[in-house]
Amino acid sequence: MAFREVSVIGVREILRLWLMEHGTRAIARHAQVDRKTVRRYIEAAQAAGLSLGDAEDKLTDDLLASVLEAVRVGRRPGDGRGCNWELLVDNTKLIESKLKDEVKLTKIANLLHRRTGEVIPYRTLHRFCVQELGHSKTDNTVRVDDCEPGSELQVDFGKMGLLFDPDAERRRVLWALIFTSVFSRHMFVWLTYQQTLASVIDGFEAAWSFYQGVFKVVIPDNLKAIVDKADATNPRINDTFYEYAQARGFVIDPARVAHPKDKPRVERGVSYVRESFFKGEDFKDLSEAQHRAPEWCLNEAGLRIHGTTKARPAEVFSTEERALLLPAPDRLYDLPHHSEPKVHPDHHIAVLNALYSMPTEFVGKHVKVRADSQLVKAYYQGELVKVHPRKPAGGRSTDADDYPADKRIYATRDLARLVRLAYSHGHNVGTYAERVLDNPLPWTKMRQVYRLLGLVRRYGAGRVEAACSKALELDVVDVTRIARMLERALEDPEPGASSPPDDNVVVKLRFARSAQEFTTDGGDRYEQ
């Protein structure tokens, strides 16, 4: 039979009944111990000076301690260890070596049985390994005092289970973003299929509405949506969530990785939410589950007697915390998008599947962009360099001034500016450009106007002006004809210009042979 420790109260009861002259059998039945055990305690009490007929006040703590010490037969004096413990002490080196090799305790118990022939209870072996060898020994902890009312809010994601998603037409894993007030333990639950930054901020916005205010300090888990790089002392927070915290006025103090004790108030609530709210329910979809979550938080979780505070969380929050929160936001947060795109050779950056122009000096460089529902702002080295109105996916916002001056007109198809540029070289040149562009698809003729302006740079504005005048008189609208006229110099010369060369004048070429080289009077030489 396994040994059962009799408590001090039980020993006192045995001796009290004996002093009342109850029999051994009755005492054993009343104390639920063996008659031999009763006799051992009575004999030990008599040896310690207790006699039948003494008053109950003789059952002092010192006498009971003496009785208990005397009854511990086969145990080490002082620490109450039994024979099994002595056996484990004798095999300490074997146990240490097996623990070092990561052998499980059940296997070690089997090895000890083979070696000693004794069956060592698992609990005794585990207690020995923990207390004597430090195996799987957890550090002691201290209870951290609660914060001031309305100060801290702990946040964590918890896995609830599977829920049917009509949009995906399949069951998906449902997550709960759980908010717990450190002081009152009042909680709020936000359900989602995703752990994205947008879902997290939606959950926070719903929480501020539920609590009717904003807590001063938020202690989140190391959510990837919030923390870009985890660190015990200097975690790097996502810029978007930093901006959200600034907009709502709270401070972020994320918990360390794999340190659930940094947020114990909400950590303990994850299983409670899963077991009490989600399991056993037959939610039709996410919308129905989310609709019922605040009601459960108020009427069930909020009105239960909390095991630690011994108070109702919702009542404590209402009376002591709500008035101390920061004001609740009066409108939903306009979630911005942060990115760092590269300015492409076409002078544009791509942000959320839309294009936005940038000045030439930033081509090939990376800029930081903040895009909200209204504006897209580009920063370079901390300086705001460009602002565009937000465009939908597939849209484009282009500022013509971002292009180089020589490419600006063609890139933007600015026909009016192109015509003004042609008029700046002469009235006929401008008129001719207008005639060229007089087409149902005028931008398809822009290259001809550019060619006309090229002729101005090559031959001068005066000659091109005269050629355009003559072509307009003949109603010939063809830039190629203008180029041919200029090449063949068919237009009238400008005043003071030299006359074109006369076709009847023979020009002696520099390397021409003399006529004597073509005579045949020297043929006799070849006959000799």
Query: What are the residues whose beta carbons fall under 8 Å from the beta carbon of 288, sequence distance 6 or more?
Result: none
Other beta carbons within 10 angstroms of residue 514's beta carbon come to 6
User: What pLDDT sits at residue 409?
Assistant: 73
User: What pLDDT sits at residue 139?
Assistant: 64
Whole-angstrom Cα distance, residue 164 to residue 186?
29
DSSP codes of every residue in 370-425:
EE-SSEEEEEETTEEEEEEE---TT-EE--GGGS-HHHHHHHHT-HHHHHHHHHTT
Residue 496 in this model has a pLDDT that exceeds 70: no
* SS3 label, residue 432: helix
Q: At CA 73, angle to CA 69 and CA 75, rounded to 5?
A: 80
DSSP H or E stretch at residue 14: helix 8-19
Phi first, then psi, for residue 377 (nearest 5°) are: -115, 130
14: Cα within 13 Å, side-chain hemisphere: 30
Q: Which amino acid is at 363?
A: V
Per-residue model confidence as pLDDT tens digits over 50-75:
988 888 888 888 888 888 888 875 45
pLDDT above 90 covers a percentage of the chain that reads 43
Nearest to 452 by CA among 475, 468, 472: 468
Contact 345, 363 (CB under 8 A): yes
Query: Tokens representing 307?
Result: 């095991």
Section 366-377 average pLDDT: 95
Whole-angstrom Cα distance, residue 121 to residue 494?
121
Q: At CA 482, angle to CA 476 and CA 483, rounded to 5?
A: 150
pLDDT above 70 covers a percentage of the chain that reads 88
Look at the block and give the residue holding tokens 């081509």. 363
Q: What mean pLDDT value characterizes the chain?
A: 86
Contact 348, 355 (CB under 8 A): yes
Residue 125 in this model has a pLDDT that exceeds 70: yes
DSSP codes of every residue in 284-349:
SSHHHHHHHHHHHIIIIITTS--TTT-S-HHHHIIIIIGGGSBPPPSS-----EEE-PBPPTTSEE
Look at the block and give the residue holding tokens 């063609």. 410
Q: In what order do the strands lie in the sheet with 354-357?
A: 348-351, 354-357, 396-397
Contact 260, 267 (CB under 8 A): yes
Helices (H) and strands (E) in the chain, counts: 20, 14
User: What pLDDT sits at residue 514?
Assistant: 62
Contact 454, 460 (CB under 8 A): no
User: What pLDDT sits at residue 317?
Assistant: 97
C-alpha R_g of the chain: 48
Q: At CA 32, angle to CA 29 and CA 37, rounded to 5?
A: 90
Per-residue model confidence as pLDDT tens digits over 185-220:
999 999 999 999 999 999 999 999 999 999 999 999
Contact 128, 85 (CB under 8 A): yes
Per-residue model confidence as pLDDT tens digits over 268-305:
899 999 999 999 999 999 999 999 999 999 999 999 99
β-pairing, 236-237 with 227-229? antiparallel
Whole-angstrom Cα distance, residue 284 to residue 517?
112
Whole-angstrom Cα distance, residue 280 to residue 284?
13
Per-residue model confidence as pLDDT tens digits over 334-367:
999 989 999 999 999 999 999 999 999 999 999 9
Per-residue model confidence as pLDDT tens digits over 80-94:
567 888 889 989 999
Section 471-495 average pLDDT: 75
Look at the block and give the residue holding tokens 């939903």. 332
Nearest to 459 by CA among 485, 432, 420, 435: 485
Q: Which amino acid is at 340?
A: E
Whole-angstrom Cα distance, residue 410 to residue 443?
9
Nearest to 267 by CA among 165, 204, 180: 180
User: What pLDDT sits at residue 526?
Assistant: 43
* Angle of the 122-133 helix axis to the 105-116 helix axis, nearest 10: 100
Contact 456, 425 (CB under 8 A): yes
Q: Which amino acid is at 264?
A: P
Contact 413, 406 (CB under 8 A): no
Q: Which amino acid is at 468?
A: C
